[in-house]
Amino acid sequence: MYKINSDRSSGSRLSVILSLLLLLILLSGCTSPKEDNSVDSIKEAASANTPQQRVIEHAAGQTTIVGKPEKIVVLDYRLADQMLALGIKPYASTTYIGSLELPYLDNDALSGVIPLGDSANLEALVEIEPDLIISRDSKINDDLSKIAPTVILENSDDWRTGLIKMGVVLQKEEEAQQWIEQYEQKLDEARKLIAAHVKPGETFMYLRIQPKIIRLYGPNHGFAEILFSGLKLTPAPGIESISKAEQISLESLPSFNTDHLFLEVGNSEEDLEAQTDLEMYAATSVWKNLTAVKAGQVYSVPHWTISDYPLIKENSLNLIVNELTNVE
């Protein structure tokens, strides 16, 4: 009897030992993944703290941008225009006729931005220690690159492409595309508004008077691009064959004889020589007998409208709608 009881006790002790061993194995199996997960988390955190590097292809080659630039300098007010359209204000910018109060924007649009003058010097750039320089002049790329990473964004044939390129540099590609889509919607709305005030077949022309020069613009350039490509208004006869711009004489104006004339005078508001030329033209019978002049359908256009940049395009569109619909 005693022997039988002893065997049972030994068996019980063995079962307990085996159970404990099994439990230890299970516990060790459960803890291993936790240790691995902790290591992975540390690696992920370290990776997240590593500055991101991007290589940007541009007109002067390649530029590596590390992290997210905060102090961005633009060396052309039109590049500032692109940045503002994407919701970013530059840290510093060259000025436009001595000012950062761009005439087609609210006065505070570039408030707080460091003015660099109409043509920035390298010493001024060194002093402000930029994180990124964006310029349109590839000739000075080497000098600029010694100061900070530099991207050269030259003029694009299509301003929309230019905005998307800026979006790539600033990691705002989606915002660039959205801005363009919203602009196209505004064009659709503008066409409907204008159609109620302009008769079918009425013709349009965009003319610029410079000192001793009369320049006529074709349907794919600047302000004229909005009139003809954007709003689908009818160009005066002969304009469609003009690629960008063409110098014409006063005597040739009647051959176009447009119903509506958008007129820009000079290179700036202070261009007195161009103003004097306009007064001389306006006193001639050739000018007085133009259909648009007799109908009182000559509209003054500010000099900033000549450029192809997003906020310029948007404000030029507003100007056209206001003139043709008599909206103030």
Please give the angle made by the CA atoms of 24, 27 and 29, to the nearest 5 degrees.
110
CB atoms within 10 A of CB 116: 19
pLDDT at 25 over 60: no
Q: Which residue has the higher pLDDT, 41 or 268?
A: 268
More confident residue, 164 or 270: 164
Alpha helices (H) in the chain, listed in sequence order: 2-48, 77-85, 122-128, 141-145, 159-170, 173-195, 222-225, 272-282, 285-288, 291-294, 310-325
Give the Cα separation of 293 and 289 in Å (integer): 7
Residue 118 and residue 319 in contact, taking contact as beta carbons nearer than 8 Å: no
Q: What is the pLDDT of residues 153-212, one digit of tens each?
A: 988 878 999 999 999 999 999 999 999 999 999 999 999 999 999 999 999 999 999 999
Q: What is the pLDDT of residue 63?
A: 95
Give residue 301's pLDDT: 94
CB 186 within 8 A of CB 314: yes
Average pLDDT along the chain: 86
- The tens digit of pLDDT for each residue in 33-55 reads 444 444 454 334 444 556 789 99
What's at 117, amino acid-wise? G
At position 71, the amino acid (one-letter code) is K
What pLDDT score does 49 carry? 54
CA distance 63 to 291: 54
Q: Which amino acid is at 161?
A: T
- Output the pLDDT for position 141: 94
**pLDDT at residue 93, rounded to an integer:** 97
- The angle, 0 to 180 degrees and rounded to 10, between the axes of the packed helices 159-170 and 77-85 is 70
Q: What's the rounded mean pLDDT across residues 124-146?
A: 95
Q: What is the DSSP string of 123-157?
A: HHHHHH--SEEEES-GGGHHHHHTTS-EEE-PPPS
- Tell me the pTM: 0.81
Would you give the end-to-end CA distance of the chain in angstroms? 116
Predicted local confidence at residue 45, as pLDDT: 44
pLDDT tens digits, 281-315: 999 999 999 999 999 999 999 989 988 899 999 99
Question: Angle 310-325/159-170 helices, nearest 10 degrees?
Answer: 140
Determine contact, residues 204/233, Cβ cutoff 8 Å.
Answer: yes
pLDDT tens sequence across 67-82: 999 999 999 999 999 9
